[in-house]
Chain A
Amino acid sequence: MHSLLLGSRWLLVLLGFLTTQAQAAAINTSSGWNMPTGVTGISQDIYSLHMIIFWICVAIALVVFGVMFWSLFVYRKSKGAKSAHFHENTTVEVIWTAIPLLILVAMAVPATGTLKQIYDSTEADMDILVTGYQWRWHYEYMEEDISFFSNLGTPQSQVLGEEDKGDFYLLEVDKPLVVPVGKKIRFLFTSNDVIHAWWVPDLAIKKDTVPGFINESWVVIDEPGTYRGQCAELCGQNHAFMPIEVKAVSQETYATWLEEQREMAAAEAQGSQREWALDELIERGEGVYTTYCAACHQEDGSGMPPAFPALRGNPLVTGEEGYSKHIETVLYGRSGTSMPAYSDTLSVADIAAVITYERNAWGNDSGDRVQPTEISELLSDD
């Protein structure tokens, strides 16, 4: 068991309770109630720093509370204690000013060393630009011409308790960030809208993504594995629902993955030019809808009026007249409301698909088919 328990004995009472956390702990290198040791040199340094300072604080607390409770016990009036008359003593005051100062210096030395290391992001092997969006992450491999969004993978039904929650509830994404082990990766952080923070405890990186500015951080991951994290800066209503999943793989696997991504990108580019069948659009659209739209308009299109309008049976979505307004809404959003613009976030195929899906799902049955080419044309017009 963890050494944390040796210090404060009453914590042992919690022991039985805490061990139930052990299997959940498999999610990362945290014991379930302490900071994860992590899988990088820096994360381990931070962990030891944390433990050293923690034990110093425990020691200080034991001494201070020890003297205090001892005094309370011994000098009770009910036991006939008479109060003494001293109220000053320069020597002790100097001592209890000097000792804490020395302790603090002792803490500051290793902290300074670690901090300097963290700030040295020079000589990286690769760069990844991480951009925060309300409420998803965008990753761009700067040397590879590959970029994609990474969304919450947990279905809405688990959140609403209609379905059992999976092991990685709220910590899973549709498309993880894949990186090679053993390489120095420099992350550049920025944001498209508000401030988010990209945090993966096992990598000991937490950096704010500030719109219009770029922050840096770096990592060398030693062990292959999946490392999970979350957005750590309040960024609006779905702040809790923009997790991070980093898959560290061997360098060979990484190379294969890159190849796959390039092929997929090529296929996607082709897809946006060809004619799509209705079923094909609906199938793809359903996936897009679940990831991007269901949080507000709900899985079954019922919305949450008055905040979020229903799309099921909505004249804009079913009728002829609404057709272009519908597309416009999805492309450019509605300013002044929380309805976002998707022209930059989704591919033209996705946009065509999701609109087609909405116009045919939940009994909307308009039979309309929106083609990716139609969307491209609209977008190139402006």
Chain B
Amino acid sequence: MVPETLTDTAAGEAAAVHGDDHHQPRGILRWLLTTNHKEIGTLYMLLSLLMFFVGGTMALIVRAELFQPGMTFVVPEFFNQMTTMHGLIMVFGAIMPAFVGLANWLIPVQIGAPDMALPRLNNFSFWLLPVAFTILLSTLFMEGGGPNFGWTFYAPLSTTYAPPSTSFFILGMHLAGISSILGAINIIATILNLRTPKMRLMDMPLFVWTWLITAFLLIAVMPVLAGVITMMLLDINFGTSFFNAAGGGDPVLFQHLFWFFGHPEVYIMILPAFGIISAIVPTFARKRLFGYASMVYATASIALLSFVVWAHHMFTVGLPLTAQLFFMYSTMLIAVPTGVKVFNWIATLFRGSITFDLPMLFALAFIVQFTIGGLSGVMLAIAPADFQYHDTYFVVAHFHYVLVPGAVFAILAAAYYWLPKWTGVYPNVKLGQAHFWLSVIGVNLTFFPMHFSGLAGMPRRIPDYALQFADFNMLSSIGGFLFGISQLLFVAVVILCIRRKGEKAPPQAWEGAEGLEWQLPSPAPLHTFDTPPEFIPERDSPSRH
């Protein structure tokens, strides 16, 4: 730590005491009107947590039905609605808002900006989401039930054969989409425009870099989603034949458009996680991140490649051979830059000075389990083999490995890492460790057996199954409930922190942490960096040489 930055910290603390806005509205209005990036970030994360529980409860309904063969708990129609809503809510309601929330909280403090570039737009983006999800969830109570066609809503099941509530589903998705696009625009403008003057692009923390690239992906593909659901709306309500061969359309066109959005979307759910891991691993290895530049290039390559791999979700729809080969090769290529990232993290650990604090536990578990999910992804990419894997629980295993012990663990790691900054107290270690170990056991018990049931032939999206899959499903269900209930421990940890129960954290909450946010007091005052802070790029910083 260098003297200048210490002075800054003192100034920040002073701001914390005197700087609070006086004309700040109170109560609920304060949250409805807020344009403060920290408050909006908090709102995003709380919404995400709520949605995680809503979506998780749906997953548990699915797991309860699948506990044993036979229709035992719900009817098939409702089961399909639960599977669909679980996927939609988790993707659009839990994972994405969590990352946007982290971006809101962290990007300005990591680049020395006073707030997001367009604070009012930021408020608008956030509050669209509760409206969107209210509409989405309300479809469950409409006549004919809610969406029952999977989160990928393939036409014509989602058009000609869909329940009447589908139009509401589409309009709800439009609102969520607008929110994402505007949020992403805001993030890009903030990063490109509000960095403290000495911070060059190649000095930015990796979380900022990964979000810059993620935001680009969002702006590029969310409009395509908007386009395709608009076409659905027209097919349903206005008699067009985009996805109907009788009129010259093609149901498979829907899938091309959906996955042109959908594949980049899955990277939208993982790139910010990469950024988080790249912040946490160096801190607790007490060693500079290995290969900063290659991390940036790898992230950019993953993002660019993600535009040309979409049809790997469609290997069985009957693509021409050349298309099949092209998409197989391009998909496999993604393993290379992703591998670079994994290797860089491990090289960072190598010859470090490692401690296993809570954030580090989750980050390390991320690396292992994400890699498992990534490797099964490479297996899926092999087109001939995908004829056997496709639409089985092997795929379900793959994407839960990258999403749950992947993205969700990264979000949890981020929460444990920055909670001291947000609330001023360290998360409770005992509770946190219990949360960690139960989560690791639960998550693997849930999703590892799915590899086997999938390979043995269990299709996904079925409420009832043949007897040979019974044992694996029982294990998965037990694991699912264990993992789900363990998350209540996390809620307890967060509540303790919010209530300021726990060990007080200094500005530099973690010994090895680097970055502007650690120069701010803990908790960070509402307004930070009214003037651009002094910044010493890590590469010129003496502390890690």
Instruction: Spell out A's residues near B (CB within 8 Å).
Output: 17, 20-21, 24-25, 27-28, 30-36, 45-46, 49-50, 53-54, 57, 60-61, 64-65, 67-68, 71-72, 75-78, 81-89, 92-93, 96-97, 100-101, 104, 107-108, 111-112, 114-116, 118-119, 134, 158-161, 165, 167-171, 189, 193-195, 197, 199, 201, 204-208, 210-213, 215-216, 229-241, 304, 307
Say whether A68 contacts B367, CB under 8 Å: yes
Say whether A104 contacts B333, CB under 8 Å: yes
Contact count A vs B, C-beta below 8 Å:
295
Instruction: Spell out B's residues near A (CB within 8 Å).
Output: 69-72, 75-77, 80, 148-150, 154, 156-157, 160-161, 244-246, 250-252, 285-294, 316-318, 321, 324-325, 328-329, 332-333, 335-336, 339-340, 342-343, 346-355, 364, 367-368, 371-372, 375-376, 378-379, 382-385, 387-388, 390-392, 452-453, 455-457, 459-468, 471-472, 544-545
B302 to chain A, nearest CB (A): 13
Say whether B69 contacts A169, CB under 8 Å: yes
Say whether A213 contacts B471, CB under 8 Å: no
Say whether A208 contacts B318, CB under 8 Å: yes
B317, B328, B372, B461: the one within 8 Å of A210 (CB): B317
Contacts of B545 in A (CB 8 A): 85
B151 to chain A, nearest CB (A): 10
Say whether A234 contacts B466, CB under 8 Å: no
Contacts of B148 in A (CB 8 A): 236-237
B317, B462, B472: the one within 8 Å of A208 (CB): B317
Say whether B375 contacts A61, CB under 8 Å: yes
Contacts of A195 in B (CB 8 A): 154, 156-157, 251
A308 to chain B, nearest CB (A): 10
- A77 with B463: in contact, given A61-B371, A67-B346 (CB under 8 Å)? no
Closest to A160 in B: B71
24 contacts between A and B (CB under 8 A): A25-B468, A30-B457, A46-B388, A49-B382, A53-B379, A53-B385, A71-B349, A75-B350, A75-B351, A88-B292, A89-B291, A93-B294, A96-B339, A114-B384, A115-B325, A171-B466, A194-B161, A206-B390, A213-B252, A232-B316, A234-B80, A234-B460, A239-B462, A304-B75
Say whether B354 contacts A81, CB under 8 Å: yes
Contacts of A107 in B (CB 8 A): 332, 378, 382
Closest to B251 in A: A210
Say whether A112 contacts B390, CB under 8 Å: no
Of A28, A34, A78, A83, chain B has the most CB atoms within 10 Å of the CB of A83
Contacts of B390 in A (CB 8 A): 197, 206, 232
Closest to B390 in A: A206
Instruction: Report whether over half of chain A's contact residues are helix, strand or loop; otherwise say mixed.
Output: mixed
Closest to A50 in B: B385
Say whether B286 contacts A83, CB under 8 Å: yes
Of A32, A71, A215, A234, chain B has the most CB atoms within 10 Å of the CB of A234
A198 to chain B, nearest CB (A): 10
Contacts of A204 in B (CB 8 A): 387-388
Say whether B384 contacts A307, CB under 8 Å: no
Contacts of A160 in B (CB 8 A): 70-71
- A118 with B387: in contact, given A61-B372, A77-B353, A207-B318 (CB under 8 Å)? yes
Say whether B383 contacts A115, CB under 8 Å: yes
